[in-house]
Amino acid sequence: MFAAILRDAWRQYRRRPIAVVLAVALGLVQIPLTLAAEVVQVLVTIPLLVASLLLELFLIAYLAGASAPTCSRSSTPCRPS
């Protein structure tokens, strides 16, 4: 089951590479934060937490759009009649 989840994630990220860039960028921003002073950590952690939550919501919606069925060659999703 874990392999199926990884395959699905790989397929979605391959279709939407900006999602990988955003997730990796946010992770890389957090690395130098561990070496900073305590005051800087407190001041930066709250905005990073908000950005992380917003990024997760964005990724869910963005990647869900990659797996949405389309009716034709256009990018508009199918509508039930």
pLDDT at 32: 81
pLDDT > 60? residue 14: yes
Tell me, what DSSP letter sits at residue 69? -
pLDDT > 60? residue 16: yes
Reported pTM: 0.49
Amino acid, single-letter form, for residue 58: F
Using pLDDT thresholds of 50, 70 and 90, give the confidence band for residue 64: confident
pLDDT tens by residue, 18-62: 877 887 888 887 778 777 788 888 888 888 888 888 888 887 777
Nearest CA-CA partner of 68 in 56, 55, 60, 1: 60
Nearest CA-CA partner of 61 in 27, 22, 24: 22
Residue 61 CA to residue 9 CA, distance in Å, equals 14
